[in-house]
Amino acid sequence: MKNQQRSEETRTRILAAALDCFARYGYAASGVAEICQAAGVSKGAFYHHFAGKQALFQSLLGDWLTDLEQTLTRAASTANSVPERLTNMARMARLIFHSNSPQTSFLLEFWSQASRDAAVRQAIIAPYRRFQRYFADLIQQGVDEGTLQPVNALAAAQTLISLTSGLFLQHLVDPQGADWAQATEDAIHLLLHGLQKPEGGAP
Amino acid sequence: MKNQQRSEETRTRILAAALDCFARYGYAASGVAEICQAAGVSKGAFYHHFAGKQALFQSLLGDWLTDLEQTLTRAASTANSVPERLTNMARMARLIFHSNSPQTSFLLEFWSQASRDAAVRQAIIAPYRRFQRYFADLIQQGVDEGTLQPVNALAAAQTLISLTSGLFLQHLVDPQGADWAQATEDAIHLLLHGLQKPEGGAP
DNA sequence: TTTAAAAAACCGACTGGTTGGTATGTTTTT
DNA sequence: AAAAACATACCAACCAGTCGGTTTTTTAAA
């Protein structure tokens, strides 16, 4: 086998094993030796590919975030009006929730570390800002085309992200507690149509 | 000093020190010895009051949750219509966010552990269910009194909790990233009034 | 009230096991 | 032959929890 291929495969195996271990036992409880054994490689290989446990962790985070970004932007491209697009993205939640359910529980570790480690925080904040801008643009577009109320686009985007983050968080903590995919659809629907009954009639 | 007083004070000191350490360095990185030093007590005292590190952790969680529950229910009791009450509670977010900001970052550890430890999960889920029922009742009341749309109360309550959880999560990860108290008010307002512009006129 | 014993609270040195990381050697590719 | 990739034994540091002993408080008998 070519060297480059072999190397890349080992790296991938380590990443996959680490993802599994972190999700199963948590970051702190997952030893490097344990990860190596799960990946079927030696410690030498590990430290040849990664500067340390933390570096591996951040690498994992980066990969997941770029994946999410790609998935989301793809889903938004197939619809006409902005409300339709948002509904589509909400429906896609089912896919995200179900596909790699156990693996994603390591995201809690990310958030946890981000609150203390500046490097991790930056790694999370940067794509977050991109998401926010993306949704803000989308919402502004909806306002311009007249399908959305004349709201503050940035604030509305933040609300949307907070809502989905919260749903995802609860899904991670208590996967069996509810049909979170359905809950996401319901929540987006509720956000779109409003909870309060309008007092006066429309013009 | 009386024995009971002394004992209780030591226990409180340990809890406070642990809260500080967990928030600052995380659960795993905070050693029992470190906590003891910060609290000004010995290991003997520690293990006299708590069965172990994990027990201390859960004790901390319990205290925080009961505090939150009390604060919230108090805030909901002073208003007339249901939308007003919800707005009031949103305004109270500023208080929650600002009061003990750094301390609360240990909640991320809770969520993280809850996804793996059944005991921690139960400790979080039980009050969560109470919150959900409480808000569902509130929303149902709003539907009955005609101030809210005829929505599914339980689903709407879940949405409300997810939204606030998400906001709190982001506040913990990136406290300086935004005015999260304001964002909470905005978000609740948005949820109440809806994002999408109604197509037809009202009756 | 005094006192002695029992109980509760507290102390701190010690340990057995774990772990991230390293140093050195070996295999495979270039 | 050089370099990249990988393997393995090893270590120093750390850490949750223990254990025998000490101080303080309470109890209760004298």
Q: What pLDDT, in 10s, does the model give residues B37-50? A: 999 999 999 999 99
Residue A177 lies in a domain: yes
Count CB neighbours of B187 within 10 A: 26
The residue range of the domain holding B11 is 1-50
CB B183, CB B119: distance < 8 Å: no
Same domain as B189, residue B179: yes
Same domain as B98, residue B42: no
According to the model, what pLDDT value does residue A90 have?
A: 84
Cα torsion for B112, B113, B116, B117, to the nearest 10°?
-160
Q: What pLDDT, in 10s, does the model give residues A102-120? A: 678 888 988 999 999 999 9
Band (B82; pLDDT cuts 50, 70, 90): confident
CATH number at residue B8: 1.10.10.60
Mean pLDDT of the residues in chain A:
87
Same domain as B75, residue B151: yes
CATH number at residue B171: 1.10.357.10
Which nucleotides in chain D lie closer than 7 A to a protein CB? 4-10, 14-21, 24-26
Residue B117 lies in a domain: yes
> Which residues of chain A lie closer than 8 angstroms to B174, CB-CB?
114, 121, 124-125, 128
Q: What pLDDT, in 10s, does the model give residues B120-169? A: 999 999 999 999 999 999 999 988 988 898 999 999 999 999 999 999 99
Among B12, B27, B50, the domain boundary falls at B50
Residue A5, Cβ density class (10 Å: 0-12 exposed, 13-18 middle, ≥19 buried): exposed
Same domain as B72, residue B39: no
Residue of A nearest to B146 (CA): A197
- Looking at CA atoms only, how far is residue A70 from chain B in angstroms? 22
Same domain as B138, residue B38: no
Q: Is A139 within 8 Å of B195 when comparing Cβ atoms?
A: yes
Report the candidate in B73, B89, B27 with the shortest Cα–Cα distance to residue B53: B27
How many domains are there within chain B?
2
Using alpha carbons, list the distances in angstroms from residue A160 to A19, A119, A153, A156, B95.
Answer: 28, 25, 10, 6, 23
Same domain as A107, residue A167: yes
Same domain as B62, residue B46: no
The whole-angstrom separation of Cα B52 and Cα B143 is 48
Count CB neighbours of A189 within 10 A: 17
